[in-house]
Amino acid sequence: MPARLAQISDFHVTRPGALAYGRVDANAALAAAVRALNALDPQPDVVIGSGDLVQGGADAEYDALTAILEPLRAPFLPLPGNHDRREGMRRAFPAQGFGPDHLQRALDLGDLRVLTLDTLREGSDEPQLDAGRLAWLDRALADPRPTVVAMHHPPAPSGVGWVDPVDAAWSDALGARIAAAPQIVRILCGHGHRSLFRPWRGVALSMAPSTAHQVALDLRPAAAPAFALEAPGFHLHVWDGAELATYVASTLGFEDRFAPG
Ligand SMILES: [Fe+2]
Ligand SMILES: [Fe+2]
């Protein structure tokens, strides 16, 4: 049975009227993403928000976030990024039924399973998967159905040094589980603020762009932190019952269509 997963990431929503980094109207950018997603026909079965939903974790930011997402037609499935706070997300999304220890969820889309992981280490930009979250993943991966695993931090290096974790060993325990789970058809992540496709531990991995600002494409090892106002976008992952294909779309100009000839 086919399934469609849209993925939007790294909204960095601010208090109304504020700009992220004094420069980016992240709230207007997320509203543009919502309009683009609402224009999709057929609609996605779910829209995954792969973390950094807000900029600073304040309740006022989560209030702005839920107001901007309110017109979204498709169901929304959020997971936390390093800019998020678990309590803020529990309060903003009570219907998700998040547990007391982490914000991980399992969702069935026909014969495709979607697992969302919580890599948040509160108070730090560094990722973490503690024993409880890994044990949850072990139980989830006992199901042999085709599975997409989504998380905020890429477990593989993005290649942009200032974005990648200080200690790459954080993902070793995850990698061992990925390599031993042949039903995993894709790892989805965000955090890197640009599209990237690469294999990791034998599985295809994709990183989604930000709906707001992108990370400058600068692969020098000592590159200074820098964002770029490249066109924001999203990913649309389409499962045909056997394989997952990914479309990359920009939210700019998405609805401005004209006939050829
Ligand atoms: Fe981000
Ligand atoms: Fe992030």
- pLDDT tens for the chain, 261 residues long, are 899 999 999 999 999 999 999 999 999 999 999 999 999 999 999 999 999 999 999 999 999 999 999 999 999 999 999 999 999 999 999 999 999 999 999 999 999 999 999 999 999 999 999 999 999 999 999 999 999 999 999 999 999 999 999 988 999 999 999 999 999 999 999 999 999 999 999 999 999 999 999 999 999 989 999 999 999 999 999 999 999 999 999 999 999 999 998
Paired residues of 108 in beta bridges: 113
Paired residues of 215 in beta bridges: 227
- What pLDDT does residue 16 have? 96
- What pLDDT does residue 168 have? 87
With contact defined as beta carbons under 8 Å apart, do 52 and 190 qualify? yes
Degrees to nearest 5, angle at CA 28 with 207 and 61: 80
Cα(260) to ligand 2 centroid in Å equals: 40
User: Residue 20's closest CA among 75, 83, 82?
Assistant: 83
Cα(107) to ligand 2 centroid in Å equals: 23
Cα 98–chain centre separation? 17
Cα(48) to ligand 2 centroid in Å equals: 15
Ligand closest to the CA atom of residue 193? 1
Ligand closest to the CA atom of residue 189? 2
Cα(144) to ligand 2 centroid in Å equals: 30
Cα(12) to ligand 1 centroid in Å equals: 7
DSSP letter assigned to residue 22: T
- What pLDDT does residue 221 have? 87
Cα(179) to ligand 2 centroid in Å equals: 25
Q: Where are the alpha helices (DSSP H) in the chain?
A: 26-38, 59-69, 86-92, 131-140, 172-179
Cα(10) to ligand 2 centroid in Å equals: 7
Cα(143) to ligand 1 centroid in Å equals: 31
With contact defined as beta carbons under 8 Å apart, do 39 and 79 qualify? no
Cα(10) to ligand 1 centroid in Å equals: 4
Cα(210) to ligand 1 centroid in Å equals: 7
With contact defined as beta carbons under 8 Å apart, do 192 and 215 qualify? yes
Residue with tokens 């509160």: 122
- What pLDDT does residue 1 have? 80
Write the single-letter amino acid at 221.
P
The dihedral sign for the CA sequence 170, 76, 33, 256: positive
- What pLDDT does residue 234 have? 98
Cα(73) to ligand 2 centroid in Å equals: 26
